[in-house]
Amino acid sequence: MIIMACVLLILLGGAVILPADLLPDKTFSLLPPVNFTMKEAGLAQVLLRWEPNPDQEQMNVKLGYHVKINAPQEDEFETRSTESKHVSILHQGFSASVRTIPWHNHTLRASSWVSAELKAPPGSPGTSIVNLTCTTNTVATNCTHLQPYQVSLHCTWLVGKDAPEDTQYFLYYRYGSQTEECQEYSQDTLKRKNACWFPRAFIHSKGRDWLAVRVNGSSKHTAIKPFDQLFALHAIGNDEPKPWTEWFLVVLMTTVCIVFILSLVCRRCHLWTKLFPPVPAPKSNIKDFVVTVNYEKSGSGETEIEVISYVEEPELEVLEDFVF
Ligand SMILES: *[C@@H]1O[C@H](CO)[C@@H](O)[C@H](O)[C@H]1NC(C)=O
Ligand SMILES: *[C@@H]1O[C@H](CO)[C@@H](O)[C@H](O)[C@H]1NC(C)=O
Ligand SMILES: *[C@@H]1O[C@H](CO)[C@@H](O)[C@H](O)[C@H]1NC(C)=O
Ligand SMILES: *[C@@H]1O[C@H](CO)[C@@H](O)[C@H](O)[C@H]1NC(C)=O
Ligand SMILES: *[C@@H]1O[C@H](CO)[C@@H](O)[C@H](O)[C@H]1NC(C)=O
């Protein structure tokens, strides 16, 4: 919160204090990347790729890229690589933009954006499943076995209200690089699948990866719209203390913020000149602040995080239950 408030304040302050005519005159615009493509690289995962602009004049400057995810959920990050994998639900389509940015040189201007999109998969409205709920259950196995525990996955859903009677749904999950299709389904009275059970899933219940689940389907009458959902498995009972670096950053940003506000107030009241007669160069300082802040913003924000409960019963065979 503090950081966000500071970022806003500093950006606003920067905008107020640095009118356009004070910006360095010698700004060179960079050229945008070329051949920006996206493709699905696994269930609920996109691979974004681009190439440096071949016409970009070779300069003695490191270049990087600013990637912005526009849909289904906004996100952005900076990278020096020319490709990036992104986990996202895909049934609503996916769109992103990328531009070339200077990596540390403020006299160069970022390029224009290039964009690409993945179209939403076809399907009639009302045919996709609703109310998908998944639970994982970790059971201890005996110690002679390679894996000391076993994770099962159970998912239930409701049939789409406009799905034809002959609709067949199929459930897949991906965890890390493993993708599996369900083999053990339950059915409703019309013999349409509405639940699935993996007795032994390739899931590491304490892992940091997303569990991606997709339910698509088929019917003779119409295209069935697929549905993706992402689940965070990191347990709520796992509250690790914040690493010291995070606290350090918070303290640093707060200090920077206070100093900045003070300097702002001083400048406004012309206190600065009274206190320090030879005016230092606050403009370059402010620019540095803006840049520091830019590098702070990290790619975050994923889709549909749902962890509802975590039960640990070490006495019993069941080690933990996740209910989404
Ligand atoms: C962009 O793609 C085109 C067509 O595939 C190819 O000929 C060209 O070499 C690519 N450009 C770069 C910089 O990779
Ligand atoms: C930034 O890039 C410009 C253009 O290449 C160059 O003239 C300038 O010296 C660079 N500045 C820094 C601080 O590297
Ligand atoms: C399904 O989800 C919707 C919206 O999330 C909710 O209003 C509805 O009650 C749910 N239906 C059932 C049967 O749980
Ligand atoms: C322990 O695991 C091994 C290998 O899966 C299995 O053959 C054995 O029956 C198990 N023993 C018990 C007591 O569960
Ligand atoms: C459902 O999704 C899986 C995984 O993405 C894909 O392999 C399969 O072809 C899809 N099936 C249908 C009927 O769309």
Mind spelling out the 3-state secondary structure of 231-247? EECCCCCCCCCCCHHHH
Cβ contacts of residue 112 below 8 Å, gap of 6+? 29, 32, 99
Question: Among all ligands shown, which has an atom nearest to the Cα of 32?
Answer: 1
Q: Give the Å distance between the CA of 124 and the centre of ligand 5.
A: 16
- What tokens does 54 get? 């071949």
Question: Among all ligands shown, which has an atom nearest to the Cα of 133?
Answer: 3
Q: List the chain pLDDT tens, one digit each, 324 residues.
A: 555 554 444 444 444 444 444 444 455 789 999 999 999 999 999 999 999 999 988 778 889 999 999 999 999 999 999 999 999 999 999 999 999 999 987 788 899 999 999 999 999 999 999 999 999 998 877 666 666 788 999 999 999 999 999 999 999 999 999 999 999 999 988 899 999 999 999 998 777 889 999 999 999 999 999 999 999 986 447 444 455 666 667 778 888 878 888 887 777 766 555 555 554 444 433 333 333 333 323 333 333 333 333 333 333 334 455 565
Q: What is the pTM of this model?
A: 0.67
> How many distinct helices (H) and strands (E) make up the chain?
4, 19
Q: Please name each of the domains of the chain with its CATH number.
A: 25-118 (2.60.40.10), 130-235 (2.60.40.10)
In 3D, which of 39, 33, 107, 98 has the Cα closest to residue 70? 98
Q: Which residue has the tokens 């303290």?
A: 251
Query: Residues with Cβ within 6 A of ligand 2?
Result: 28, 59, 61, 105, 107-108
Query: Residues with Cβ within 6 A of ligand 4?
Result: 142, 144-145
Q: Give the Å distance between the CA of 114 and the centre of ligand 1.
A: 15
Q: Give the Å distance between the CA of 117 and the centre of ligand 4.
A: 50
Question: Among all ligands shown, which has an atom nearest to the Cα of 200?
Answer: 4
Q: Give the Å distance between the CA of 208 and the centre of ligand 3.
A: 29
Angle between helices 244-268 and 2-17 (to 10 degrees): 30
